[in-house]
Structure formats: C-alpha cells, structure tokens
Structure 1
Amino acid sequence: MTAQQAQQAVTVSVFTHRLPATRRGANLARRLAVGQLGDWGIGPAAPLCDTVALIVAELAANAVLHGRVPGRDFELRLTYEHESAHVCVEVSDTHPGRPEPSTSRAGDAFADGGRGLHLVAALAHRWGVSERNGPGKTVWAQTGPMRERR
C-alpha cells in the first residue's frame, strides 16, 4: 500500500449565502446556519450547533453594525469537516475596517456592547481576519482544528 492509498478521504461540506446588511439579515444568518447544520446531521440540541449559532450571531451582528457599507450585502460561509466534526464560520463584508476586541468595555458588565469578539474568542478554537477578493475583509472562527483554511 502506498502512502497516497493510506490517506483517508476527507469529506467537507460548504454552505454560502449572501444576506442584506441589516438586523434582519443578521438574524437570518443565524437561522440559516442552524438549519444548515441540521441538514448536515447536527441537531439544534447539539453543543456544536449552539456554539456555531452564537459565533454566527456575533460575527453577523458585527458585519451589520460595524462593517456595513450602504447598498452592499454581507456573506456567510460555513465549512463543515465531517471527520473531525468541526465548523469554520466566515462572515465577509465590504468595509475596510478591521475588528479588534474592545479593551475599554470588556470589563464593564453594564455596557450594551463591546463583548462580541471576546465571546467569539472564548467559543472558537481560533479566529481571525483575512483579506477577501474585492473590498473588505472576512472575519472567521473555527470551532476546532481543521486541516486547512481556504
């Protein structure tokens, strides 16, 4: 048996959807993600589903609140690696600004915001910001180690 024959096939599923950069679009992103996970066999009671739903909600809300460019949509992309049961969430918008976790409001328990990326960092195995084709950026988070990001 050769080394190439010994390698296992890796099944990866991908879901991509463009959404309006509105509060309704952010809410729809979370609902679509949960529905897609269900299609992949990850039910709404699964901890992975909860984690992905929270990450999508935070990243989509940031795209709508901080990354919105009038007349432009944002994009949700989910990549599910079946073998490891890990999901990569990517949210792309057309705003050039880079997100950074707030340091000033993170400790303020009564602040209305400023904790979203701290929540993403706590839930995800890792997260970051990447360049994208066209204007803007992609903010991504992985629920666990994946072999390779696109």
Structure 2
Amino acid sequence: MHRVAASGVAGSANQVIELLTGEVVANAVVHGPEHGRVRVAVRIDHRGVRVAVTDESPARPQVQHPAPTAVSGRGMALVEALSRTWGVDEHGDEGKTVWFLVDPEAD
C-alpha cells in the first residue's frame, strides 16, 4: 500500500484501504487453491482508490454476519460496510477478481 500513501492518501482512508486489502487477500489465500496465485492491482484516479484481488478459485465471496463470539467470517462484511462499492468479476474456471472502491475524501 506504499503506492496509495505515495499518492497522498493518508489518515483513516489509507488505513481502511489497507484493512480491506488484507481481508480480500486473506480470503483469496484461505479459500483459493492451495498452490494458486493471488494478484493485487491498485488503481488511483478521480473516482478513488480501487483495489482488485484476483485468485484462481471460481467461488464467490459471501457477506456473512457471524455470531459475536465467532473467530472469523467478518471480512466481506467489512468490505461492504467500509468501501463505497465492491464487486466480483468472474473468470469462469480461471477464477475471479474481487474489487472494492474507497473514496479517500470520505472521512
């Protein structure tokens, strides 16, 4: 996320982008194929910061609302709550790209 900070995005927006990126990458690693590749792309433009994480699993992420005592399952709920928008681009048997957009000015 050095590229995001270098572009001038700081404070809580930078922290949100870092948190959400970590959640989506963790999902790709945990739920993707054992030896699959994970790629992260970042685009910064007038619409905001868009992070896209591509993995080789065709399984779509699910927004869950686990019990307060559950130790996992909150990642996509965080993405849904803290990003301006998010989505999934499916690539058939080759996997998918999960992306989110954060407005660095929305503090």
**TM-score bucket of the superposed structures, by smaller chain:** 0.7 to 0.9
Deviations along 1:67-119, one digit per CA (max 9) or x if unpaired, are 2x1322100011101x45x10111010011111112xxx24111011111001
Unaligned runs of 5+ in 1: 1-32, 145-150
- If you compute each CA radius of gyration, which structure gives the higher value, 1 or 2? 1
User: Normalising by structure 1, what TM-score?
Assistant: 0.63
Return structure 1 stretches of 4+ with deviation > 3 angstroms: none
Unaligned runs of 5+ in 2: none
Amino acid at match of 2:18: A
User: Normalising by structure 2, what TM-score?
Assistant: 0.86
What is the CA–CA distance in structure 2 between the aligned matches of 1:38 and 1:141, rounded to whole Å? 17
How many residues align? The count is 103
What is the CA–CA distance in structure 2 between the aligned matches of 1:111 and 1:133, rounded to whole Å? 32
Partner of 1:8: none
User: Tell me, what secondary structure is at the counterpart of 1:90?
Assistant: strand
User: Tell me, what secondary structure is at the counterpart of 1:108?
Assistant: coil
Q: Displacement, 1:60?
A: 0.6
User: Greater RCO between the two (CA within 8 Å, min separation 6)?
Assistant: 2
State the Cα RMSD in Å.
1.7
Q: CA 1:98/1:133 → structure 2, altered by over 3 Å: closer, same or farther?
A: closer
What is the CA–CA distance in structure 2 between the aligned matches of 1:37 and 1:129, rounded to whole Å? 22
- Is structure 2 residue 36 aligned with structure 1 residue 72? yes
What is the CA–CA distance in structure 2 between the aligned matches of 1:72 and 1:47, rounded to whole Å? 32
User: Tell me, what secondary structure is at the counterpart of 2:94?
Assistant: coil
